[in-house]
Structure 1
Amino acid sequence: MVMDRCNANLFNPTYLLNIAHYLLLFSLASSCLHLTELRLVDGCLREEMQALLRFKQHLTDPSGRLSSWVGHNCCHWKGVSCDNRSRRVRKIDLRNTFEDRLFDDYADDYGEEWDEAAYEESCLGGKITSSLLSFKHLSYLDLSDNNLPGISLLCQLQSLRYLNISFASSDGVIHNCFFNLTNLKKLDLSGISFSGHFPSELAGLESLEHLDLSHNYLKGKIPKLIGNFCNLKFLSLEDNTLDGGIQELLSGFSNCTNNRLESLDLSINEFVTELPASLGVLTKLQHLHLEGNSFWGSIPTSVGNLSSLKTLNLRGNNMNGAIPESFGQLSELVDLGLSQNSWKGIVTETHLMNLTRLRHLDVSTDQPMSLIFSVAYEWVPPFKLYTIDITNCSVGPAFSVWLQWQTELSDVTLHNTGVSESIPEEWFLKLSSKLQHMDLSYNQIHGRLPFQFKCPNLYHIDLSHNHFAGPLPLLSSNASILDF
């Protein structure tokens, strides 16, 4: 009975059709597998490996940075990363790390000079070629700090989410094709010698979270189109020749329903204006750099709205007003740089009482005694500073408790601060071994330096124009500058 049923199926058209269908599927699967095997070479797509080798052929590599680009598995080549499943190249990172290595090697050597010849030796040269267009799924490309003209070709890599060509080209042009890269999250075009007004070609890149146009020759005013970048978390226009004010920029971001900006750098430009009250709209801001401009007036009280602010740098402007009490609301502030201005008015406990994370205080003023620290002698601050510079500010005549509380300092500058009473010897003895720089000059300080005062890393000490008495302590041989 069973045999009869099997024999019957042999002559059943439906059964035979199903068998043929399965055989066809098996054949197609085998063919696809065979094609995949032809395209994959040790885990790397053959055509992408060949494209990388063609790209390499048009590069000069005097330091041998691409010496690992041999063999068949391009996914293991230095600077190349592939998707784990598809094995397609997703990331090419050929940034020049010369400067990073220099900093690591000589971080403690302040006299080390930049070696231009060694830097040139470390750069990739040649040109960017169309071989890069083979990477249809490339999401990350970093060619920074090299010498590679031909950046316009990169506009065709529409899958890119990260593009860094900073200091990699001197084309001096931002091509209008960049609007094609609508998937970009990070774009770094710093140091490519671009000149002209803010590039309107970037207006359509509304997904950008990081935009760096620093160290170029941008001029004119910041346009309203900046309001298109509502997803920006980082914006740097440092070291350009932008002028006018920053109201347009602030107005643009105020129109964003969810302003996400965390870092804004407008330093070293030609802005000549008061700081507008609308600065307070940047409520997510963590780092604000405005140094090296010609801002004037007072800091607006709206700065107190920047509750996430960690860094504020206004050094080297023409600020000639007061510091508002709303500073006391900046509980996340770590680094405060207000030097090289002409501040006026009074700083009280209210300005400082909530700055629990403050580590760097630089509020020196150009006009002697124009800024007065009016703080109760016994007041204990909520912070322990690593560096302090309050040159020309009035803090005397007593060396108050809020100053005595600072014992973790690596750098202390109290030049011309009106201190005329003695400094407790205990303060000198409690100072951290990390102390490197001490300037107490041009005061009228009395008393003695404790003989046990030892700071092994101290390299600069200036106690001139005071009334210290007694023998000098045994200072470290590292102290190369002594002025008593």
Structure 2
Amino acid sequence: MGSKILTFLAILTLITAAETCHPNDLKGLLSFKNGIYSDPSGRLGTWIGTSCCKWEGILCDNKTGRVTQINLPGFFTTEDGTPLQTCMNGWLSPSITLLSFLEVIDLSGLIGLKGKIPKLIGFHLPNLRKISLCSNKLEGPLPKSIGKLSKLEELYLCENSLSGVLPENLGNFEGLQDNLLSGDIPDNIGDLQGLKELDLSNNSLSGRIPSSITKLKVVSIIYLNNNQLTGEIPEAISLGQMPSLSFLRLNDNKLSGRIPYSFGYLSSLKRVSLANNELNGSIPSSLFKLKSLTELYLNGNRLSGQIPTSIRQLSQLLILTISNNMIEGPLPLQIASLVNLQTLDLSFNKLNLSFIPKWLLKLPSLSRLYLGGCKIEGVISEDIQATPSQLQELDLSANHLSGKIPEWIGRLNGLYSLNLSKNFLVDRIPSSITNLENLGVLDLHSNKLSGSLQSVFLINSRFSGGSMAFLDLSYNNFTSGIEQIGDGMQNEFQYMNLSHNFLKGKLPDSIGRLEAIKSLDLSYNAIDSDLPTSLANATSLESLKLQKNHFTGKIPEGFLKFRNLKELDLSDNFLEGKIPYGEPLINFSKDSYKGNKGLCGVPLDPCRP
């Protein structure tokens, strides 16, 4: 009889626990709810009464009735299987630490969630296994008490504005990227033997990379890029260290010294980026023994010597970028063995090619070729039109190319980006360029091109899916075609520079169709129209340069719509009348308006009655 009573009481206790929230849990959850003033998902609308274990996003332990999980991510799936992206606007309540049995807290991607991570989180929530607060607006220091969370397996705090230093005994470094963290990486990081991913990218970390990092036995991802790290890259002491490391990003730091020969020990490496550092010396041949390597970025360093012939061993290589170094020629013929290579960037080295090797253009998978500043001479090689794979991007800038842009350029149907700037090209842009329906970037600046711009402006108007976004034809000898600007063009245009030419005529109303444009430079020409009022439709403009032309009339009132404008120059024209009063026009200096004798008003002298 007694055992039956005890069983009944146990069942009654479980029912009661499920029905009534523990006072501390209830207080903590309601404090969180009160801190949120906007919940488009409607999930907090279910948080009514005292049965918190039935609330959406809350999970409790069946035995104790205590809350163990808060799952309210910004991206979730509804009961009918529909994916939904939502947000919450408000503040993260420090009272959340009252939920002392909490094991998982996921408030990631809520976008509008502000506040600080509670200072004592590591003392009050000892059972935490997972903290996911990525993609919010949290700020303040990373609490040192997080290092006390001995059970912590996953920590995701990326894409916030957290600051301060990393705790010495932090249990897991996953997902701290895109914050404002500073200081050194703790020397004992190698003690985290269970660590599989290390992402501290996009912070302000300084000092050296600890040598103990090579002791991480199961780590597969190390992202330390975009910090201020200094010193040499640690050597892997022996073969077999970091055997699982597949993805390594150390780019955009201040690392110096040579690339360690021991890189050849990291047999699982697939993607390596050491770009934009201060590395010197030759490229170690051991780097090309990594037969699983698919992407290698060494650009923006001080590397010298020649490309090792052992490069032929990288049979899986897709991307090779060695630009902006001091690599010398000749190019090893062994590059021809890279049958899977899609992107090759050798720009701005000491290669002195004179011409593009025919064997290079026969690479079967090549689609992106960058040979800027390689001292290539003569006319543009006809072999370019016969590449086995369609070229998508071609950069031959800053060479010694001469003659015309060939008519066959229009046959490169897959071309998205074409950069022939800083050469000695002459004559007109061929009409066949209008056949390039996928062209999004065209850079021909600093040549001796002449004639009309009409063919360029017709590229997008011929194709409903036109994607032109970047156009730079500055520092040439073009004289006409300005009246076609915006006519039939798509709205993707973001950057246009036609400055330092000899363009005449009127700026048409159709320019107002470029509503997405951010930078427009028509300076140093001879355009002689009024400023079209339709230009005010380009409300995304951040930079507008129209100086040294023959513009007349008044500045349109619509220019006050340029709320994003950071740079303006209307100087040395024939504009007149009062400058429309208001931001952003009154924020610019007198230099933005000087040389227009008829202009008056802030920031110039007052207008006469």
- For normalisation by structure 1, the TM-score amounts to 0.71
Secondary structure class of the residue paired with 2:373:
coil
Is residue 364 from structure 1 mapped to residue 338 from structure 2 by the alignment?
Answer: no
Alignment deviations for residues 169-193 of structure 1 (CA, whole Å, 9 cap, x no partner): 4215655734724644662233554
d(CA) in 2 for partners of 1:75 and 1:426?
Answer: 70
Give the residue type in structure 2 aligned to 1:260.
S
The alpha carbon displacement at 1:295 in A equals 0.8
Q: Quick check: 1:33 aligned with 2:20?
A: no
Change (3 A) 1:128 1:416: farther
**Alpha-carbon separation, structure 1, partners of 2:357 and 2:189:** 50
Matched position secondary structure for 2:327: coil
The residue that corresponds to 2:273 in the other structure is 289
* TM alignment of 1:122-161, pairs within 5 A: 124-127=91-94, 129-135=96-102, 137-138=103-104, 142=108, 146-154=114-122, 156-161=125-130
1:338, 1:123 → 2: CA distance?
Answer: 47
Give a deviation string over 1:398-443, Cα, whole Å, max 9, x none.
62646642764444321134555877645522422xx443212344
Contact 1:245–1:273 (8 Å) recurs in 2: yes
Q: Is the 8 A contact 1:218 1:240 kept in 2?
A: yes
Give, in whole Å, the separation in 1 of the partners of 2:40 and 2:119.
21
Q: Does 1:376 align with 2:358?
A: yes
3-state SS in 2 of match to 1:225: helix
- In 2, the alpha carbon distance for the partners of 1:334 and 1:77 equals 50
What do the CA deviations read for 1:261-285 (whole angstroms, capped 9, x no partner)? 1222222222111112111222212
Q: Which residue of 1 aligns with 2:46?
A: 71
Q: Does 1:318 align with 2:302?
A: yes
Unaligned 5+ segments in structure 1 are 1-19, 98-118
Give the Cα–Cα distance (whole angstroms) in 2 for the partners of residues 66 and 52 of structure 1.
20
Give yes or no for contact 2:365–2:389 (8 Å, CA) kept in 1.
no
Indicate which of 53, 71, 79 corresponds to 2:29.
53
Measured in 1, the distance between the counterparts of 2:323 and 2:272 equals: 15
Alignment of structure 1 residues 80-95 onto 2, 5 Å: 80=57, 82=59, 89-90=68-69, 92=71, 94=73
In the other structure, the counterpart of 1:236 is 223
Q: Which residue of 2 aligns with 1:338?
A: 322
- In structure 1, the residue matched to 2:246 is 262
Separation in 2 of the partners of 1:217 and 1:482? Answer: 35
Residues 379/266 of structure 1: CA separation in 2 closer, same or farther (3 Å cut)? closer
Secondary structure of the structure 2 residue equivalent to 1:35? helix
SS in 2 for 1:365: coil
Match of 1:437 among 384, 408, 417: 417
Partners of 2:370 and 2:396 within 8 A in 1: yes
* CA deviation vs aligned residue, 1:28-48 (integer Å, no higher than 9, x gap): 54444333322335xx97779
Tell me by how many angstroms 1:383 deviates: 0.8
Match of 1:171 among 141, 151, 156: 141
* Native 8 Å contact 1:378 1:402 kept in 2: no
Matched, 1:393 2:383: no
Q: Identity across aligned pairs (percent)?
A: 22
Change (3 A) 1:126 1:29: closer
Relative to structure 2, which stretch is displaced further, 158-167 or 321-330?
158-167
Distance 1:288 1:243, change over 3 A: same
**Distance (whole Å) between structure 2 residues aligned to residue 403 and residue 425 of structure 1:** 11
- Distance in 2 between the 1:77 and 1:314 partners? 52
Match of 2:207 in 1: 220
Distance 1:231 1:401, change over 3 A: same
Structure 1 or 2: more strand by fraction: 2
Match of 1:231, SS state, is coil
Matched with 1:199 is 186
1:267, 1:90 → 2: CA distance?
A: 37
More helix by percentage: 1
Alpha-carbon distance between aligned partners in 1 of 2:188 and 2:41, rounded to the nearest angstrom: 34
1:336 and 1:57, CA in 2 relative to 1: closer, same or farther beyond 3 A? same
1:104 is matched with: none
Query: CA separation of 1:302/1:228 partners in 2, compared to 1, >3 Å: closer, same or farther?
Result: closer
Give the structure 1 partner of residue 338 of structure 2: 354
Distance of 1:148 and 1:266 partners within structure 2: 29
Q: 1:416 — aligned with what?
A: 398
- What is the CA deviation profile of residues 290-326 of structure 1, one whole-angstrom value per residue up to 9, with x for unaligned ones? 2221112222111112223233222322223322233
Distance 1:416 1:218, change over 3 A: closer
Indicate conservation of the 8 Å contact 1:62/1:123, yes or no: yes
**Matched residue SS, 2:141:** coil
Structure 1 counterpart of 2:194, which letter? S
Once the two structures are superposed, what CA deviation does each residue of 1:217-274 show, in whole Å capped at 9, x if it has no partner? 43322223223421211222223322110124x33xx475562112222222221111
Secondary structure of the residue that 2:214 maps to in structure 1?
A: helix
Equivalent-residue separation in structure 2 for 1:480 and 1:237 (angstroms): 31
Segments of structure 2 that go 5 or more residues without pairing to the other structure are 77-86, 155-171, 462-467, 477-609
Matched, 1:277 2:261: yes
8 A contact 1:399–1:422 mirrored in 2: no
- SS for the counterpart of 2:43 is coil
Distance change in 2, residues 1:96/1:427 (3 Å): same
User: 1:91 touches 1:138 (CA, 8 Å); kept in 2?
Assistant: yes
Distance 2:215 2:469 in 1: 54
